[in-house]
Amino acid sequence: MTPVIDVHAHVFRGRDIPLKGYLLSRRYPEWYIRVLAPVIFTVLEAAIRGESHGWIANLVKQIAFAYTGKGYRHWADILSLGDMEEITRQMISAFKKDRIELFVPLMVDFEYWFKHTKRLPIVEQIDSMYRDVVLPFKGRVHPFAPFDPARELAYRAGLPGPGDGDGGPKEKYSSLEAAKEAVRNKGFIGIKVYNALGYRPLGNAVVDGQRRSIFLRNGMRRYAAFTGAQFDEVLSDLYRYCEREEVPITGHCTHDGIEAYPRASFDFGSPRYWSTVLERYPRLHVNLAHFGWSRPEEYSTAPRRYFYDRPWQAIQRRIAGSPGRASDTSAGGEPSVHWVREIAEMLTRYPNLYVDVAHHPVTDERNIPKYQAAYAAMCRDYPGIIQQRLLFGIDWHVIARVENYAEFRDDYRQVLEEGKIFSKNEMRDFMGWNALRFLGILPPSRKAKGRWSKNWKRLKSFYRKNRIWQPKWFREASLYKGE
């Protein structure tokens, strides 16, 4: 049997993040949701504090959700929950029919990149994930720990955290050491980075100006002194550790999502910025989440849309008053918006690079033929590559606001298997075995010399120490003979 593994999930609560900055930074497709986001924030803040609403607040709430729809109401209800274990139960229940044996929630440390509204320190969030999710679900859920280079730099420099004044207490937590501890002893199996917040994987000197603007805008002047070289230093420390200890990294990689400012993804999160990392650390396992995909037709129409997209993005950035664009030429070549095609080409050069399909809009039946056409063309252009590196992921609970989100797995099966793009064996790889290769949760093998196995060993020890019976997916991985 092939285990079904979801490599991209979230179980954070509204209290775990700078909620206002999180909600207002998202690029919602509907104009009225952009307008109503501050209202939704106010409602969620009150719910998190356990406050009841007056009749005016309730009326405003009803109007807001009448426009946004039941999907956004459902997502808001999840964010307002105080119990991470309950959010995890809802996740498992939502996809019960899919028989997902392992969920991998990705934690993100947003605190240094938005105005301070968060109440729970990141290390306490990690402890809550360990105590309320990893242990109770006994091998069903193993998260990725967050890493933020800005927090690490503040810790090393002895600076106060973002919620304290200049004379306040020093940052208590090393982001790197917290992540290491989570991997060593708390059942975490990887590390998540989120470049669109304000840093590149490497080569940060080019975007010093953009990053300073973020800190100054948020009233965090003391962090504006950090240089690109310092960011590169702490990120390199992370990559060396992950390569040595065989810890996989997932990086957010799409034009959409949380951004420091409109279109910040292009300054910080372009897939090409990972090339230097993958060349310098060739054994490192990296997943570029979302496959860089923003539109279903993006792969097929990339050459034609280039001249439309570039000026339109420039206009949007100017209207938003965002910092000027950093030149992509430092990473080689001209600026690009065609990330899917770019990543597909990178897969041919970097054998330990993977991509996941989280939050692709396949639940809209109009997009099914577009994705089928794109994958058919991609598999012709890069035969045998996509099938070996594509990972299944859903993006719960962020996807909970999308209609028919619970059908995500069936819809992706329709794209790849019913579209006769992947064979049955290739579908099994997509649903589980590729994930186990990326995660390094396969036993040592004489046949596969370069195969990772330290995560497998760490989990085996973790189950033994915590008296957890090895879950079915782990036993299946331990018997794996293929490559």
Note the pLDDT of residue 451.
Answer: 80
- The first and second tokens of residue 350, run together, are 């970097």
Please name the residue ranges forming H helices in 80-157.
84-94, 122-129, 149-157
Note the pLDDT of residue 69.
Answer: 59
In the block, tokens 């924030």 appear at: 41
pLDDT one-digit tens code per residue, 114-161 = 886 566 889 999 999 999 999 999 999 999 999 999 999 999 999 999
pLDDT higher than threshold 50 for residue 306: no
Note the pLDDT of residue 68.
Answer: 55
- Quote the Cα angle for 192-197-198, to 5°: 115
pLDDT higher than threshold 60 for residue 36: no
pLDDT higher than threshold 60 for residue 421: yes
Check if the beta carbon of residue 389 is closer than 8 Å to that of residue 354: yes
Check if the beta carbon of residue 294 is closer than 8 Å to that of residue 367: no
- The first and second tokens of residue 194, run together, are 């989120």
pLDDT higher than threshold 70 for residue 465: yes
pLDDT higher than threshold 80 for residue 444: no
Note the pLDDT of residue 463.
Answer: 98
Check if the beta carbon of residue 254 is closer than 8 Å to that of residue 292: yes
As its CATH architecture, domain 4-13+84-478 has Alpha-Beta Barrel (3.20)
Looking at per-residue pLDDT, the higher value among 453 and 394 belongs to: 394
Distance CA 388, CA 423 (A): 12
pLDDT one-digit tens code per residue, 186-227 = 999 999 999 999 999 999 999 999 999 999 999 999 999 999
- Measuring CA to CA, how many Å separate 339 from each of 27, 91, 440? 18, 29, 26
Looking at per-residue pLDDT, the higher value among 416 and 318 belongs to: 416
At 309, the pLDDT band (50, 70, 90 cuts) reads very low
Which range has the top average pLDDT, 49-53, 352-356, 398-402, 453-457? Answer: 352-356
The kind and range of the H/E element at 479 are none
Which range has the top average pLDDT, 21-25, 71-75, 316-320, 477-481? Answer: 477-481
At 262, the pLDDT band (50, 70, 90 cuts) reads confident
pTM comes to 0.88
- Measuring CA to CA, how many Å separate 311 from each of 262, 305, 315, 349, 409? 14, 11, 6, 31, 36
Cα diameter, the chain = 68
Distance CA 364, CA 387 (A): 23
Q: What is the mean pLDDT of residues 404-425?
A: 96
Looking at per-residue pLDDT, the higher value among 71 and 236 belongs to: 236
With a CB cutoff of 8 Å and minimum separation 6, the contacts of 55 are none
pLDDT higher than threshold 60 for residue 32: no
At 82, the pLDDT band (50, 70, 90 cuts) reads confident
In the chain, % of residues over pLDDT 70? 79
32-46, 105-119, 383-397, 437-451: segment of lowest average pLDDT: 32-46
Running DSSP on this structure, what letter comes out for residue 431? I
Q: What is the mean pLDDT of residues 308-333?
A: 47
Running DSSP on this structure, what letter comes out for residue 7? E
In the chain, % of residues over pLDDT 90? 66
